[in-house]
Structure 1
Amino acid sequence: MKWRLLFLIVFLIGKQVKLSSQDLFFEKVSGIPNSPNTEIHGIVKDSIGYIWFGTYDGLYRYNGNSFVHYKHFEKGSSSIPNSCIRNVIVDNEKQLWVLTYDNEISKYSYNDDEFYNTPDSKVDTTIVNRLKSNSTRLYSNISINGYRFSINNNRLVSYNTVLDQEYIYFADHWQQGNLKDEFVSCYYIDDQNIIWIGTKSGAIYKANTSRKQFLLSYVYDGGDEHKQARPIRAIIKYQGQLWMGTELGGIVLYENGKPVKKHPFFSSGFDNDNVRCYYEDIYGKLWIGSKQGIVVYDPVINKCTTILKKSDFPDSFRKYVYAIAESKDKEFLWASVHNQLLRVNVKTGKYQVFRFEKEIGSSYIMDVLEDEMGNVWIATEGKGILRIGFSNTYHIRDISQIRKPLFNEKFKEYTGNMAYSLYNDKCGHIWIGTTEGVSCININSMKVDSASYNINGLTNKYVTALSGDNDGNLWVIHKNGIMKVDPVRRYTENTVIESEGVYWAFLKQSIYNDTAENCIYVGAREGVVRFIPHIIKQSPYKPKVLLSGLLVRSNIVGTEDKVDGDLLLGKTLLKKDSLRLDFNMRSFSLALDAIDYQSSGKGSYYLYKLEGFHDGWIKSINSVITFTKVPSGTYSFKARLFTEDGLKSDEVNLAIHVKKPWYSTIWALIVWFVIFSSIVYFITRFFVSRQQLKNQLVLERINIEKMEELNKEKIDFFTNVSHELRTPLTLIADPVKQLEKGNLSESKKSLYLGIISRNVDYLRKLINQILDFRKSEAGMMSPKYSICDAYAIINGCVQSFHNNTAQRNISLNLEANQNKIIGYFDKEKLNQIILNLLSNAFKYTPNGGVITIIVDNDTDANVLHMCIKDSGIGIDKHSLEKIFQPFNNEGTNPFYGNSTGIGLPLTKNLIDIMGGSIFVESQRKKGTKVTVKLPYKKVSELMFAEPEEKGNVVEDKLFDFETKIEDEKLTLLIVEDNRDVQDYLAAELGEKYDLLQAFNGSDGKNIAMVNIPDIIISDVMMHEMDGVEMCRFLKNDENTCHIPIVMLTAKISEDNKVEGLQSGADAYITKPFNIDVLKAQVDSILENRKRLQQKLGLKKHINDIAKDINTIDNEFIEKVVGIIKRNIDVVGFNSEIVANQLKISQRQLYRKLKAITGSTAHDFIVRVKMDKAAEMLLTTDMKVAEIAYSLGYTEPTNFSRTFDKHFGCRPTKYVQIHERKSE
């Protein structure tokens, strides 16, 4: 019954108050977690800054953001004795005491973060009395800032001792920031004059008494506070009354705190429910802007006049007026109408219209002002800012647009294009409030001074209004608060209001500066806020940051917790100034508590650094700071808290020492040094011994390699000499056998005798050269001089190579400064030197090359200079150093003939014997230059010898054996670099075969690819490409893999034979060979090939051929069959189409198919078609005529005739035969 009476009294009191003022705004603190029944029985703030709450479920510590819960635990004596808390206090010694409902007392230890139970007898009686007093009455009748607070019937009551007024904080569903149906159980006022309220439901509230500097008045609809409060859109003080335009609530006038009804002179034609701006002119008339245009109220005649003409502004035009501003001379005013600007004569009401559709389109003009220079600035909703310059006759002179650019860098500092407010300060700057912050523009330079003006505490960048005060300060009104800015020093002095509630939801442009009373009115969503700027004071209280916890490996470390067996803390971080961590704990986290109850905490952040690890300060909004892999060493952790009010805390410091790893300690380093030294010693000793042994082995290996190299060179020499001997022996022995048989024509006899004679001479010269080399090496040769013509000797040697030049198309040139060089020379040795050098040049010069001999006789120095240059393959630098070593053939591959490896060493020895010198210059692929210098000897020094007979120079004769080509002959390709062997084989085999000839493997390969011969006879050792390489290439090419190849070689070892046969050769015959054996071998191979062709030709089906041919041939057959099948229905399809698709000639296709299958290309196409026909006859229901047409036949009778010829029966008979077989 009492509560109902109290509520009725309070309700009646509320009915009498029309402009309701709330002195305190209560914010609900986040609920205590996991506590459904937690009536608050005690509140206290300790010396560190934590707020402690006693409940039925234990004790809770609050740091402004989160709670730490302390309760009784059965095990251990370090917890509170009972979870039902009766009271909690802080004594004069800053110790925290707790009283439970069973009257047990505990004291909190800040060192250990634990509670220790203490008997009453050991506690000061003053502390006991304070604990056991009624907690709800503990702070009754406490006064602060002229107010006395008490709890009456579980309600918080404040009494204004100055005005002798009492205010009861009770539930109010229409007001924000009040206590809602809460029964107050206790309250506490801390050192920052913040009131903390504990309730029986467990809810916690706080109210900041510093906000009493701001007075909020609720404006109710029709003066009835039980109706919805109305947002304030426009404010002005006019004729001693405060005129406020509400949202859909009409114009409310207040005078001395009393409401007045709507003014009777506002006609029904004017929509005064949407007033957006007011302006009082110099004549005392009130200009009112709304969504219906502009109305002027004249108090003298008590009349309202609408000034906008319908001819200028039809009904379809939105006549929204958001701003009215005075001009410099005050005889005119500026007014915005939608996207147009009006210059209005305040005396006559006549106006001039300026339109800006080009610049701002359909955007609304939200604010207008005229600066000291006569320029007009307009703020638009979406198109930024316009500055309009006018001429003396008020025509637009220029327009400057400032907007947040997309591609223009000029105004990149500008904050946003949604501009709602303008303010001109005394320093010549225009301040612009946008939805993205504040911008400041210099009027003279038109430069934006800063980007999104960095104002500390502007947590909501949606700026709704700007205003100055009498002291020149700028007041920034944003969605959630009011901020004071010093426009000169350009930083925020303090944030005066900040909250999440709709209480401070300020509206666009709704601000009025009452300069007479030096106060500012700001329209809010549920009323109007009034404050006096000069009494707004900076909060004297600093926030505080504390170290509250340590985390290692993401686990919280308690004061008594051990990590890896080590006690890390021993006491809380609040009481520690240093921390030591093992190396394996160098990744850790520190928890921070931000003690700040003045602000909301939304814009707060930390600056921290670990000196020695970080170079500078790091910003973080997280209260847990994590460090990863901190190196061993000593560091200093520092942190500061910065609030959205622009306040900062003192630094918190903690020295952190990360120990070195066990392997980096002094003793470990000593052990490491000893171990390392020992390892280095033994490794050094091992490697020294090993190197000594290695050097010894290297010396032995070098000697062995030299011996092996010498032996190899000798073997190569004897191999090459053997090859050189076998070839002429073959050309002597076999022609002799043929002469013994008789029955030879005279031409053949002459040919064979010439071959025998030339090769006998060649053998004689070769053997003499070997003997001469041996003599020169043994020092058994001496020069034998005689008077002779050196030029004649050189020219005779050049002429002896005439036939070679003709055969190989080589240009041989002799150039001399004298055509007679008479002197004492060793004729034989000079002749041998020239022949060896020319022979060497011919061997390494390709067909079509150039060889030049330059002879220069230096008569003054008695020295004969000879230079032999060729355009051959050249010699690389590595091989050039070894060319005068005996038996060396490294890096050489002659184009013609073979090298024994003694020609150049013998030449050098002969030149040395004659007292001369030889020098070789060469580059790979650029030819070789050999320079010889032979000095003259005086007559007295000469040792005469008997005159020698002139040597005979045997000239090579070209053998031109012609054979007639007959169609029925098979084609034979002879690949041999020796001309005599070529001629001999051609003479023996030319009557039976069509001959193709090549002098090296490369030419042989190309001729075989083009002509597809029936068989190939090839030498093995040839320049450019040897016979083995040629054979391997041809056997792996699908066009030539079927061609039989017979290898002729002087290499007789088993390995050579295996290599030749593995390359694909069909026969391997060694030199000297018997021509009859060679003929028999060739005939046998061709006869076997012919029998295979006949066998394959008898096969009716193409698929039966694959098992009897090699893989490459089979792949070729499959390609041909594939082409035929893809074109099987083409009329007129023939072998030319197949050859074109295979990219070979018809002749190649013909010879390839004939060699593999025994069939011509035409016959093979027919065989494929007949195979397909047989398949279709047995697997389809097609008629014979249909099958014929599908196979490219134009006449079914031709198809049937061909089928009969191939299978021996007509198509219909073929089907019947196979049907009977299947039965």
Structure 2
Amino acid sequence: MDCNLYRGINILNLQNNRFEYINTANHPEIPSNDIYSLLHVGDSIFISTSAGVAVYSTNTKEFARYQPDILDGIQVEFMFDSEDRIWFSSSVGTYYFDKKKDSFEKLNKFNFLKNINFVKTDSKNRIWIGDCLHGLYGYDLKTESVFEYNESNGFPFSWIFSFEEGRDGYLWASGDNGLAKFKPETGELVWYNRESGLPFEQFNYRASYKSKSGEIYFGANRGMISFNEKDKQDVKKELDVVFRGMQLFNQPLLPGEDQALEESLNLHPEIHLKYKQNVFTIEYAGLHFRNKGNCEYAYYLENFETSWNYVGNRDFATYTNLGPGVYFFHVKASTDNTTWGNHANTLKIIIEPPFWLSRWGFLMYFLLLILLLVVFYSVATRIQKSKALAEMERREREYHTELNNFKLEFFTNVSHELRTPLTLIVGPLTRILEDDKLTPALKKKMKGVMNNAHRLLMLINQLLEFRKIENGKEKLRVSHQNITTLLKDIEEAFIESAESKSIAFTFEVINLDSNIWVDCQKLENVLINLISNALKFTNEGGEVNVKVELIVEDLVYRTLKITVADNGIGIDPSKLRKIFDRFYHVDGANETQVAGSGIGLALVHSLVKLHKGTIGVESAVGKGAVFTVQFPVSRKAYNDDEILIGADQYIPHVTLADDMKPVPVLRDEVERLSANPTILVIDDNRELLEFITETLTNEYKVITAIDGTQGMEKVEESLPDLIISDVMMPGIDGFELTRKLKSDIRTSHIPIVLLTAKSGEENEFEGLQTGADYYIEKPFLPHILIQLIENVLNTRKSLIERFKSDAQMLPSEVAFSESDKDLIEKISSLIRENIDRPNLDVSFLVNEIGISRSLLHVKLKKLTDCSATEFIRSIRLREAVKLIADGKCNISEAAYKTGFSSPAYFSRRFKEYFGVTPKSYFDK
């Protein structure tokens, strides 16, 4: 029969080696399944549970609840003495059942013991009760003598765990602080603990046993000790040493609970530790039970230390941060510190290396190295091939890029050069077509020439615009426009071309009644190119359908969708991704008939992208193509610098400087105000020079120069009233010429008009920045140039007339350049400061200002139409008007204060200058 805590009782049948399980389920007579102890007395087995006592009869094989009821519900410890008494010890007291007397009695001496651990008897029939709080108590029933052993009367501990009787009347008790050997009759007491050589001091409850041979065993929480009192206990100077245990990082290392320690160190003195388990303490003890505290120890760790460490009675050794390896811990003991002998106990300690330093680790490194070499070789080979391929592709891309740039640069330069011949074609043609004497047949031919000239100009402009986009210099100019008229004009422009090829042409506009935000010029270019391509690649009898639709996504975002579809020759789908590349030609069925420049679709793609839109194409060979363009037409889609202010106004081809605003005047009025002004024309193209001279010679005196250097010389010789100069010339170009003339005080007043084949805002800005007054792009129409000259001269003349009639006008307002304004203001200030000086004359001004008399005269004549003397007089008169108007003096006083010799002389000069007498002037 075996007691099983919490699970009842197991009864082993020795005949069949099978267990019978007894518990409260099949035997309710048992108070609880929590079984603590069994006691076999005669034909009965007493069973102690957590809820009372049961009795099993070996004869009847039956269980019964033990009486009296006082033991119900409590845990009981049993003991059977030599007087046939069964002792029951519990938290409610100690009882005994006398079988001889058949009586159940209570031992009232020990009612205060509530934590009884055991009840035992010795050879003298004395009862010994061990308590976990009050100590060990003995009781002689015959003499009623009581023995008390606890810390209050010198016993080493009060927590009594177990008890055994030794030889010669000595009793042994274990507790929470070692072992105690005592003799009640004599009062002898010997205490054994760590200092006495015990490997441990903490023992377990009821863990003791005495064998028939006299061996006494006590169980502890870390092992078990045994001894035989028959052995001779002489003190040895040279002692055997045992290992009491080991701690790892200050935690006990228990056999079987950790892989490092499978069994006791004394049974198997070898331990394997992981490489991080390198902080440990080894505990040892000399086998000496009689000389308390007299053991001394020495140890050393082989392969770490080279000499013994003599540590007195310290019974442990601690090592930290040991590296991987094999170590041997040697320890020996002595009782007199002199006799050590040669016998030492040895513990083998193996600290495993980390995986990366183990044999498996090095094998893995070797395999990884091989793998890395293979991978490195493979990757290096692949990279080398990729680099070679990338280098080949890069060179090919660079070649194509350079080729395309060369083509584009070549075409751009050629286009610039073509602008001048086009000017020489368009200009005379315009004048010829204006001739009423031209026959209808000849006029028709001339119109054909003009149309082709304009077509050539359109191609040139496309190429130049594409170049500007490529260089990032083309800007978006979005304005709020109604594009229905623009779309109608585009439709009408292509109707005749479609009819000539018998192509059915439709142009559908949907939901476009309101204004949208769009760059009209770029929209026009996109539509013209797409429709031109569609007509070009569609055979006679085909169809071209154009649809322009406004898609309203919500109240804020709107999109313009353009679809251009045809049923022409189509495009191979494999080549669709290249059709927007510059200079790419689509290979079609009729390729020889429709070869193009390779710029149109590339320009369309760039314009759509610049307009923040997308373009797509669907096509198949022989089935035509459908181009779809979409871009936003909402205000929020564009930045402020992309919005064009005043776009609803007409923007002329001529760009004026900010401080010049031309006033339109009839030609006969110019002739009346200007007697053949002198105009200098500078251009390295002799044909264009002759054309401009022929255009202007009837109205103006024209002098010419073939380049910038000669132009500078002509300016110094003649000081013309206006200069017309080309920009691109050998030597001194138009920009440098303008910069030099505008920085020279002698010529800074001369208006300059620049002619250029270079289009674009950046070139225009550079020209105006150098001081040019106007900027005209080639080709230009003759009447535009003539009107510009008239406006310039009229503006100058009007300012002079106003200066002479308006006394309130500042003299500096007649000048346009900053240097001229500064000069006029300097002269005027000098006159005002010395207005009452009698010697204020031309010589005084020349000396004070530091310029020649002739230059002073020329500058004042060109700017104010006054000689130096007349200009001095005009300033005097203006100052007099100011004094009189402010009420500071009368006419006579003003005359004297402003340097006139008499009021009569003042009045005569006043009437000559302003046209009325002083009195009449101020009466108004």
Determine if the TM-score, normalized by the shorter chain, exceeds 0.5.
no
User: Larger C-alpha radius of gyration, 1 or 2?
Assistant: 2
Instruction: Calculate the TM-score normalised by the size of structure 2.
Output: 0.28
